[in-house]
Amino acid sequence: MSLKGKAAAIGIAELKPWKEAPPNVTPLGLMGRLTAEAIADAGLEKKDIDGFLVGMPVADPGFIYPASAAEVLGINPRMLNVVDIGGASPAGMIWRAAAAIDAGMCSAVLCIVADLNRLGDQKVPVVSVQREFEAPYGNIGANCGYAMIANRHMYEYGTTPEQMAKVAVDQRTNALKNPLAAFGDKPLTIADVLGSRMIVDPLHLFEIVSPCSGGSAVIVASPEVARRAKNPPVWLIGAGEYSNHASITYAPSLTDSPIKPAAENAFRMAGVERKDIDLVCPYDCYTITVLVTLEDAGFCKKGQGGPFAAEHDLSYAGDFPCNTHGGQLSFGQPGLGGGMSHVVEGIRQLMGRGEGRQVKDAALAYVNGNGGIMSEQVSLILERRA
């Protein structure tokens, strides 16, 4: 059993994230626009969409959400669900869509996320054990957990602030060529990053994603539907998922993440090597996340993420193109649309639609989705066939 080549991404839609959303937008309103744009991009009609995977917006949550959203959009799915694995949800949708298609349940799945976020007070976690054992000590929101990962990584491996900052700097170089990036107007230097305000030691402001509003959508289709699509199909050839904790305190290790088994499964399924990959799109809620992902996905040795980032050019024109859309650090984090931005960029590049930041002859992309505090991991390998 394998999902290799069983389904392809054939259409995408993505909004430029708003730092402050206009007053008249709603998550379902954004989903309407994204649905129309993604269907048009694929060259399909609405009636062709028979699968529906949706992320539950924080700004408009509810139980039994998928049917309500599908009803608003006028979609009658043969398979529908919410995917609820944090920032890994969008990447998780892609393989779940392929699995449903491979099982014969449906043939064209709309994977969609949209949300409105405002900077400010992070709500106390609602899961009872986190409210009881984390919140009283101030372990609220994601910043603290990633800061403790970064401090431990520095302690175990000698990773430096400059090495972490380099990720934000190179990704900003990419964002300058992405008209959809919310933070793509001026270049960034390592001194800028390290000179920005310290938020949670050792992470500075420019190493932390900024909540935005927006959304994105991807259509995953069967080989039959993909054959009549407008775009060159981008095939899912490898996928893996893994979780081993929710709060980082109870993870087996702060520095060995569940990315490793997820990535190993994806590469085994795809039957390709790390050196074959033309671009990587690792989830980057923080700079440290990228270093740990490059290590655990096998692009460098454990603990060597810092020197690897320092020694390689991570820009679209460099020797190791990484988050060519700018990453969420420069694109912005419109809720789950942040996680979807890595999926969309992988597809866009393999379709040859990277415009000013196109990676030359890109045929294979590695995408990683990360939820919570490195809690849920989904690795995907995408391929454009000649």
Partner 1 sequence: MSEYHKPLPKPSPVSAPYWDAVRRHELKLQKCGGCGAFIYYPRPRCPHCLSENLEWRNVSGRGKLYSYTVVRRASSRAFADGPYVLAIVELDEGPRMTTNLMAEPEKIKIGMPVTVAFDDVTPEHTLVKFKPV
Residue 141 binding partner 1, by CB under 8 A:
yes
Residue 201 binding partner 1, by CB under 8 A:
yes
Nearest alpha carbon to residue 375 among 200, 286, 252, 291: 252
List Cα–Cα distances, 297 to 53, 205, 243, 380, in angstroms: 26, 26, 15, 11
Pick the closer one to partner 1 by CB: 36 or 199: 199
Alpha helices in the chain (DSSP H): 27-42, 65-73, 89-102, 128-133, 143-157, 161-175, 190-195, 223-227, 259-270, 287-296, 305-311, 327-331, 337-350
Pick the closer one to partner 1 by CB: 125 or 223: 125
Residue choice 35, 107, 117, 143 for contact with partner 1 (CB under 8 A): 143
Residue 134 binding partner 1, by CB under 8 A:
yes
Residue 250 binding partner 1, by CB under 8 A:
yes
Pick the closer one to partner 1 by CB: 1 or 126: 126
Three-state secondary-structure class, residue 92: helix
Q: Which stretch binds partner 1 (CB under 8 A): 27-35, 104-112, 124-132, 281-289?
A: 124-132
Q: Identify the helix (H) or strand (E) that includes residue 301.
A: none
Pick the closer one to partner 1 by CB: 34 or 154: 154
Q: Which stretch binds partner 1 (CB under 8 A): 28-36, 58-66, 125-133, 234-242?
A: 125-133
**Structure tokens that stand for 224 in this block:** 């039959």
- Strand order across the beta sheet in which 279-282 lies: 79-82, 51-54, 108-115, 214-221, 8-14, 234-243, 376-384, 364-371, 279-282
CA distance 323 to 311: 17
Residue choice 190, 199, 310, 317 for contact with partner 1 (CB under 8 A): 199
Residue choice 76, 249, 265, 304 for contact with partner 1 (CB under 8 A): 249
Peptide bond into 136 cis (omega under 30): no
Residue 45 binding partner 1, by CB under 8 A:
no
Contact set for partner 1, span 148-177 (CB under 8 A): 148-149, 151-152, 155
By CB under 8 A, the count of residues binding partner 1 is: 37
Residues that bind partner 1 (CB under 8 A): 121-124, 128-129, 131-144, 147-149, 151-152, 155, 197-202, 247-250, 254
